[in-house]
Copies of this chain bind each other. A is one copy, B any other.
Amino acid sequence: MTSFLSEDFLLSNDVARRLYHEHAAPQPIFDYHCHLPPKDLAENRQFADLFEIWLEGDHYKWRAMRANGIPEKYITGHAAPYEKFLAWARTVPYTLRNPVYHWSHLELQRYFGINDLLDENSAPKIWERANAALASLTVHEILKKFHVQVICTTDDPVDDLRHHQAIAKSSLPTRVFPAFRPDKALNVGQPEFVSWTAGLAKAANVDIRNLSTFLDAIRKRHDDFHATGCRLSDHGLDHCFATPCSDQIAAAIFVKGQQGKPVTNEERTQFASFMMLFFARLDAERGWTKQLHLGARRNVNSAAQRRIGADAGYDTVGDFPQIASLSAYLDILSRENTLPRMILYNVNPSDTFSFATLIGCFQGGDQPGKIQYGSGWWFLDQKEGITAQINALSNVGLLSRFVGMVTDSRSFMSYPRHEYFRRVLCDIVGQDVSRGELPNDDRLLGRLIQDICYRNAKEYFRLPISV
């Protein structure tokens, strides 16, 4: 019987404990995908209170509060920060078995040394203690505290990167890089596409008159990102696109979109397919790694979206067919020899095994683990999802070559998710050993753990760092 969130949390035997404490815990954090605001990093943001750092932007907590019957006023509405915190505190005891129950208490422990369970009664003291600690816990202090060596944020090509430039000039020892996320470049025919293109033109200083100049502008921003140290791109898509589309057709669709004429779904798919190939070629040329985050169905509650906006906890897991278009996309790139290193993430666990298997068809060259099956993502970012990802990759690929976990978070309070992942990983391996399914060989297993927690990522991404 292990006590809740003890030192050996999630570690069920001696091998697991040894692997975690000796091999996993000492590794720095290499957080190659997150949604932290570069501005906060540049300005070394300080947080007024626990609400600001913990609740202000966390849609996991918002969803839990809504499911608990908390009125929206106390979630994203006009209630005072402390009232919102109390509403959250009242909800926490109802989140038993949800990962936020673990995460929240782990965060209170690791950031503030608070070991109490959060509920309505403990809330006032916890608010006080955490707020007091936050007085000296700036963003930069947090990164130091958690040994964060690398951060890659998520940035629109339209972004001017000035915060990244400021960070690079600062004394922050953590290396911070942008990642290139051009989702909006696919949205031809949608009203925002025209204004986004205008922003792109400005950011790239290119006069966008047609598809060709549109692509020039994107390439210019890709170059600018590269110059700022960016080595990863990222796409959030329902599913991949691989419909044939010639330059001529793409150019015609682009013009229609810019002129505000209606674009059909078929044309949208063609244009998206065209652009996805273009982006892959850019990444391949520059030696970047491309990430595909596939399978979410976003903003399914349109009334809530109108009231509150996007990314407010109204996204869900789609059940799109994935493999036909995804394998066709990889195949085209492979044929033309422009397949970059790539990470495929799924959010529907029904796709776990087919994603993990697919990567095995496009490995090759001298790059170990060239195509990666990405870590448990979003709704799958919990013990069961992490375990399923590790098991699927183990069964049909090489776990040893896995580049490991990301926070994928908008919050500076999420670094314990690396600890969480590492504990789950070490326990999986430890349990295998206890059943005689792995050799009890510390050299072999220690290397495996260290590689996954840190070294594989460091070598794989080829970021412009010298550590």
Contact = CB atoms under 8 A, between A and B. Distances in A.
A354 interface: yes
A2 interface: yes
A334 B363 CA distance: 44
A363 B117 contact: no
Interface of A: 1-6, 8-10, 12, 63-64, 66-69, 71-72, 93-99, 102, 117, 297, 300-304, 313-324, 327, 330-331, 334-335, 348-351, 353-354, 357-370, 379, 382-385, 391, 394-401, 429, 432-441, 444-445, 448
A303 B433 CA distance: 40
Given A300-B361, A358-B300, A391-B384, A117 B434 contact: no
Contacts of A8: 436
A309 to B, nearest CB: 14
Given A319-B350, A350-B350, 5 more contacts: A8-B436, A68-B369, A300-B358, A303-B335, A348-B353
Nearest to A301: B361
Contacts of A400: 93-96
B369 A69 contact: yes
5 contacts: A9-B436, A94-B400, A97-B394, A301-B330, A348-B354
A384 B395 contact: yes
A319 B98 contact: no
Given A314-B361, A354-B348, A440 B63 contact: no
Contacts of A363: 63, 66-67, 69
A384 B359 CA distance: 19
Contact of A319 (B3, B315, B351, B359): B351
Given A364-B66, A437-B4, A323 B316 contact: yes
A13 to B, nearest CB: 8
Given A67-B397, A365-B71, A331 B302 contact: yes
B94 A398 contact: yes
A438 to B, nearest CB: 6
Given A297-B323, A301-B361, A401-B67, A1 B335 contact: no
Nearest to A395: B382
